[in-house]
């Protein structure tokens, strides 16, 4: 216990001082001590808090923000303390091939003191693999192990890493039904926990006066937005005042269209979502896309905005739960769906309000944090 707290406290001091993580240091990105203080008042009188050592890809791993980091405070209120450990070098290899051997050695070396500290916890939470597409040190963590999966990582390297992770997990939580079906082939103990949206960060505002369709995401997914370029060109012809907003870490390649590019940052998200009339979530129809957890779509709905989405995987499931948006698979369907919503402001407001209610009930942090707490208590006991 002391080693666990000392390691987390050292990481907090390093982060507070702004110094870069060093090999062998431990990152506690959420601040274990702060979460512990928040939980103290509501902690059960009969025992101490449950301690969770969460191994993630670190501060740059966006999925860890939503699958682990945002749960730290609400879980603390449930009497569960989470310390997040991630490598300063990240879990994804550098683009230059010659840098990868040193990166691999350095990343694994950073994990060693984290593994030691993690043995002071009651449970290990593994968010995906420690090194992208490889099984490495996960088996050295303390049991029970809770494995968290929110992408189709089993599609890589013949699922060798996925099978090893599943074999050594006491329970697996996944983000959607398709992933659950895939992972149950290797471990029958699988629970579905959608990726949560913090609705407190998404205040619903009136629709903008000028029509605006928009997309938010990372550069790796820009290719999906670019596939509907012809449909957006036709929409601009039909709606001359239409603007197209993109919030990303890289501008899109959509020449000739009225693009309003917003560099991505956490503070920019809420304002960007509020500036939209309709959110976009185009996808290809493939196994990788079926593993996606529709988070982009849920963000639009949480902001009270209707969504037009490709009917692929979980997107189709969300659309089936209420009148929250429209499906589109072809260029013509994208034009028709977006034209329908942009032409009917009252209808768009109704779709947005229904989407907000759906997220509040089934996909919000408020709704899902107690479920994750229940899962953690169950596996510990």
DSSP 201: G
User: 230 and 359: one domain?
Assistant: yes
pLDDT for position 7: 55
Distance CA(368)–CA(354), nearest Å, equals 19
Shared domain check, 208 and 174? no
pLDDT in tens, 260-305: 999 999 999 999 999 999 999 999 999 999 999 999 999 999 999 9
Residues 191 and 265 in one domain: no
219 near 249, Cβ under 8 Å? yes
Q: Quick one: 103 and 187 in the same domain? A: yes
**247 vs 144, 254, 267, 302, CA distance in Å?**
39, 14, 12, 17
pTM, whole model, 2 decimals? Answer: 0.87
159, 267: one domain: no
Residues 300 and 345 in one domain: yes
Q: Rounded to whole angstroms, what are the CA distances from 56 to 42, 68, 83, 344?
A: 27, 8, 10, 44
65 and 30 inside one domain: yes
Q: What is the pLDDT of residues 270-282, one digit of tens each?
A: 999 999 999 999 9
Q: Does residue 121 sit in the same domain as residue 261?
A: no
Q: What is the pLDDT of residues 94-126, one digit of tens each?
A: 888 888 889 889 889 999 999 999 999 999 999
Do 153 and 210 share a structural domain? no
One domain for residues 327 and 373: no
Q: At residue 10, does pLDDT exceed 90? A: no
Q: Are 45 and 162 members of one domain?
A: yes
Q: How many domains does the chain have?
A: 2
Section 159-185 average pLDDT? 98
Under DSSP, is residue 145 helix (H, G, I), strand (E, B) or coil? Answer: strand
What mean pLDDT value characterizes the chain?
89
Please report the pLDDT score of residue 95 as a whole number: 82
DSSP-assigned states of every residue in 172-210: EEESSHHHHHHHTTT-S-EEE-PPPB-GGG----PPPSS
Residue 219 belongs to domain spanning: 199-363
Which of 138, 158, 136 minimizes the C-alpha distance to 148?
Answer: 138
CATH code, domain with 323: 3.40.50.2000
Asked if 227 and 206 sit in the same domain, the reply is yes
52-69 confidence digits (pLDDT tens): 999 999 888 889 999 999
């Amino acid at each position: 216990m002391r080693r666990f707290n000392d390691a987390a406290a050292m990481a907090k001091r390093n982060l507070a001082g702004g110094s870069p993580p060093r090999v062998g240091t431990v990152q506690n990105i959420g601040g274990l001590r702060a979460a512990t203080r928040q939980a103290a008042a509501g902690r059960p009188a009969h025992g101490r808090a449950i301690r969770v050592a969460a191994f993630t890809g670190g501060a740059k791993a966006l999925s860890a923000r939503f699958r682990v980091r945002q749960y730290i405070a609400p879980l603390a209120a449930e009497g569960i303390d989470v310390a997040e450990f991630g490598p300063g070098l990240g879990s994804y290899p550098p683009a230059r091939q010659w840098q990868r051997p040193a990166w691999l050695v350095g990343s694994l070396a950073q994990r060693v003191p984290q593994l030691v500290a993690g043995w002071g916890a009651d449970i290990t939470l593994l968010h995906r693999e420690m090194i992208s597409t490889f099984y490495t040190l996960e088996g050295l963590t303390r049991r029970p192990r809770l494995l968290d999966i929110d992408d189709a990582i089993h599609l890589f390297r013949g699922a060798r890493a996925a099978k090893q992770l599943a074999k050594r997990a006491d329970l697996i939580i996944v983000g959607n039904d398709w992933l659950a079906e895939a992972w149950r082939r290797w471990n029958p103990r699988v629970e579905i926990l959608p990726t949560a949206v913090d609705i407190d960060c998404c205040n619903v505002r009136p629709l903008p006066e000028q029509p605006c369709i928009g997309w938010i995401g990372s550069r790796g997914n820009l290719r999906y937005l670019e596939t509907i370029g012809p449909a957006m060109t036709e929409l601009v012809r039909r709606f001359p005042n239409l603007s197209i907003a993109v919030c990303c870490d890289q501008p899109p390649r959509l020449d000739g269209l009225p693009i309003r590019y917003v560099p991505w940052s956490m503070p920019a998200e809420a304002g960007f979502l509020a500036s939209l009339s309709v959110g976009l979530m185009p996808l290809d129809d493939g196994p990788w896309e079926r593993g996606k957890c529709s988070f982009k779509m849920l963000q639009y709905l949480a902001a009270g905005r209707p969504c037009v989405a490709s009917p692929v995987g979980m997107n189709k499931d969300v659309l089936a739960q209420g009148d929250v948006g429209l499906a589109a698979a072809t260029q013509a369907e994208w034009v028709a769906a977006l034209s329908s919503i942009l032409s009917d402001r009252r209808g768009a407001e109704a779709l947005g309000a229904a989407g907000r209610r759906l997220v509040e009930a089934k996909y919000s942090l408020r709704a899902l944090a107690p479920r994750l707490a229940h899962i953690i208590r169950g596996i510990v006991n």
